[in-house]
Structure 1
Amino acid sequence: MNPRKTRLAEFISAFTLFEIGSTTLFQIGAEAKQDAWLAMTLAACVGFLLLMLHLAIFKRDPKRDLFELCRHYFGKVLGNLAVIIFGAYFAYEASRNLRDVGELAAYMLLNRTPLFIIMLLCILVIANIIRYGPHAAFLLMLVLLPFIVFSYFLLISMIFGVGLPKLENMEPILEDGLGPVLKVVPDIISFPFAQTVLFLVFFPMVREEKGIEKSMLIGYTSVAIFLILVNHMNVLVLGTKLADTVSFPLLQVVQLIELAEIFERMDILFVLVLFIGLGAKLLFFYMGAVKGFSNLTRTSFKKWILPIGIAIYALSFASPNFTHHLWVGISVVLKYYPIIQIGLPALLFIVMLVRNKQRTREEEQMDNS
């Protein structure tokens, strides 16, 4: 893999686009109805703690990425198993994002093009970017971020400008108590906030280690606030029932924008923004999987681009239709993700602390002798 170090600005841009990713495509915490914003806020706070955990792991051993850390601290057998689990998780998440891209394109733009063609073209484009290495991917994110920020700012301004949000849709607050809110918090933690575990793969690539912690925490907080705002805006405009029913709620909201008979097809801009967000998430999950299996087999990074790409493409057809795809993502896999996203990193950190204490004691005994 390309060993070039990336600048902090490029890295934060990639992190920001990754976190936004496909999150705005769906209604997060829909079961909490008008209190979804509260559920997202609680989940974001837990995600903040998880990010601090990831940064603590990085600070204790900044030269090793996630896979090298697993092999070094868990030992050969358990370490390789952890590498396989993380690599498979990243590949599966990439396949889900690929399916989202294909379904969105087929729904909005290319309804006469077969889904397998759309997704094949998408995976080929992403694979070609990965072929140039992480540095090229980070540079691309730096270029795309200003466009994404401006586009979302424009869309949100127009939604509020034409008076679509209705504050009465957020009442009554906590109508059924905290039960429905707490019920959906674990799922929201898993998607999207706990997905930051992926960046343990990329932390060692950053050139400026000193400013990474502050920048990451500021970036995460900004994105979390943005996602909570956008998610709640769906409720304010559509109401709880419609926001939960439609496949792409924010797209439905954007299609309601009509301003002076000039700005009427803002949904095209939103779809373009979504493609970039989905592409960013697919890109980094794909790259993480390639890096994992390259590390596992001690072979070249580029040799795994094609096999992993084929696996991602095949996995994207695991569901016969988009409804089943969403059901699997919400009702099945999210229940097991905390083991990978929270359990394994926490165990890794504990093992690191124990190993470091043992090393310190051994050094003290040697000094005393």
Structure 2
Amino acid sequence: MKVEKISRLQLFYLMTGFVLGTAMILGLGHEAKQDSWIFILIGMSSSLIIMAVYTQLASYYPGDSLAQMLPKLLGKFLSYPIILLYIFHFTYSAARGSRELGELIDSTILSETPLVVIIGSFMALMVYCLRGGVETFGRMAEIVFPIYLFSLILIWILLFSVDQFSLKNLTPILGNGVTPVLKKAVPTAINFPFGETIVVLLFFPFLTHNGPVRKICMSFLLVGGVLLTINSIMLIAILGPEIYNFDLFSLLSATQMVSVADFLERFDALVILLMVSGVFFKVGGFILAAAIATSHLFKLKQTRSVVLGLGTIIVPLSSITALSYVEHLEFGFKFYVPYVHTVLQIILPILFLCIAFIRKKLGSK
């Protein structure tokens, strides 16, 4: 495989955008209503422990991606089906992200355009960008993310001008106690979006300087979590907990209420552009992780053809997985996130770390 390198700053931009990604479209903790920001903080805090597992595992096998370290951990025959499982997970997650963006575009600015055309166009752009590999993706993140962050802060400033803005909508805080919020947050808030950062295990070998990566990983989780928390507080303060609970695109709905002196209005395009940028990070990270894992599994020298193949699969996959957007969300949050994510992003990595620790102890003796 061609030697490609990204800096730690590029990895930080890429992964912070990845954390925000589709979470900006879907919102987080709707079922927790006015306590959704606490829901996010619980997920972020718990995910720091999971990230410690990921980084410790990587420290046992420096220079190896997840697909390279598993054969050393589990042996050739046992590791192959698990790697294939992760490849499918990354591919399907990319398809889900594409579907969510497609539904957003379809319900707002391109209501007469078939969903498959919207997703296909986005995927063509995605494949074109990712054929350059990790290095190109990292450079794009370095350019796009600061603009993304500036646009997000600008939207928050505009939201302060909405007449309905009231922090009283955040009360009562923990009105039913902390236990109901904990039950909702664990493991859902850990798995989405924070646990999905397991893809970073595929990017570690491309860092320019080998060494401890825990600090940079904790940083993008903290920054991403704080930004999502602030966004949740802003939306609840405007929409109220009840509307926030049922609104499919809460950030867009809140921004549509902005009117500065009855002159500056209709900032929908800015929000949609912001969300497209976030999905670019999320879907791009998943596709690239799947492509790297596939290349390592089958000992390919490049990822360009793999990215093209994955893009071809993702377009129909995103369309056939659910008949409607409501069904798509229901399957995701009631089955895929609480069960599949928990196994692949929490249980298996902890098991891998235990095996690596035992192997290290036995090897030292």
Do these two structures clear the TM 0.5 threshold for a shared fold by scoring above it? yes
Inter-partner Cα distance in structure 2 for 1:106 and 1:44: 31
Look up the match of 1:156.
Answer: 156
Matched, 1:173 2:178: no
Within a 5 Å distance, the mapping from 1:113-262 to structure 2 comes to 113-185=113-185, 186-210=187-211, 212-262=213-263
Contact 1:27-1:234 within 8 A present in 2 as well:
no
Contact 1:31-1:180 within 8 A present in 2 as well:
no
Aligned partner letter, 2:188: D
Look up the match of 2:305.
Answer: 303
Aligned partner letter, 1:38: I
- Deviations along 1:54-85, one digit per CA (max 9) or x if unpaired, are 11122222210011111111111221121011
Matched, 1:323 2:326: yes
* Paired residues, number: 361
- Deviations along 1:295-335, one digit per CA (max 9) or x if unpaired, are 22223423322332222122201111111111111112112
Structure 2: where are the runs of 5+ without partners? none
Inter-partner Cα distance in structure 2 for 1:161 and 1:264: 11
Inter-partner Cα distance in structure 1 for 2:180 and 2:25: 22
Contact 2:67-2:202 within 8 A present in 1 as well:
yes
Look up the match of 2:102.
Answer: 102
Within a 5 Å distance, the mapping from 1:37-76 to structure 2 comes to 37-76=37-76
Give, in angstroms, the shift of residue 162 of structure 1. Answer: 4.1
Look up the match of 1:359.
Answer: 363
Moved more, 260-269 or 270-279: 260-269
Contact 1:12-1:216 within 8 A present in 2 as well:
yes
Inter-partner Cα distance in structure 2 for 1:268 and 1:302: 32
Contact 1:27-1:244 within 8 A present in 2 as well:
no
Structure 1: where are the runs of 5+ without partners? 362-369
Of structures 1 and 2, the larger Rg is shown by: 1
Look up the match of 1:365.
Answer: none
Contact 1:2-1:135 within 8 A present in 2 as well:
no
Inter-partner Cα distance in structure 1 for 2:135 and 2:125: 16
Inter-partner Cα distance in structure 2 for 1:105 and 1:173: 34
Report the secondary structure of 1:55's partner residue: helix
Contact 2:30-2:246 within 8 A present in 1 as well:
no
Contact 2:20-2:228 within 8 A present in 1 as well:
yes
Aligned partner letter, 2:286: F
Report the secondary structure of 2:64's partner residue: coil
Within a 5 Å distance, the mapping from 1:265-304 to structure 2 comes to 265-300=266-301, 301-304=303-306
Aligned partner letter, 2:160: F
Look up the match of 1:340.
Answer: 344
Contact 1:29-1:36 within 8 A present in 2 as well:
yes
- Deviations along 1:215-268, one digit per CA (max 9) or x if unpaired, are 332232121111011122221111111111111011111111101233211121
- State the superposition RMSD in angstroms: 1.5
Aligned partner letter, 2:357: L
Inter-partner Cα distance in structure 1 for 2:244 and 2:52: 32
Aligned partner letter, 1:72: K
Aligned partner letter, 2:194: F
Moved more, 275-284 or 2-11: 2-11
Give, in angstroms, the shift of residue 161 of structure 1. Answer: 4.0
Contact 2:5-2:134 within 8 A present in 1 as well:
no
Inter-partner Cα distance in structure 2 for 1:162 and 1:324: 32
Residues 7 and 27 of structure 1: is their aligned pair in 2 closer, same or farther, counting only changes over 3 Å?
A: closer
Give, in angstroms, the shift of residue 26 of structure 1. Answer: 1.9
Look up the match of 2:314.
Answer: 312
Look up the match of 1:366.
Answer: none
Aligned partner letter, 2:152: Y
Inter-partner Cα distance in structure 2 for 1:179 and 1:220: 24
Once the two structures are aligned, what percentage of the paired residues are identical? 26
Give, in angstroms, the shift of residue 164 of structure 1. Answer: 4.1
Residues 62 and 165 of structure 1: is their aligned pair in 2 closer, same or farther, counting only changes over 3 Å?
A: farther
TM-score of the two chains, using structure 1 as the length reference: 0.94
Matched, 1:263 2:268: no
Give, in angstroms, the shift of residue 174 of structure 1. Answer: 1.7
Report the secondary structure of 1:316's partner residue: helix
Aligned partner letter, 1:241: E
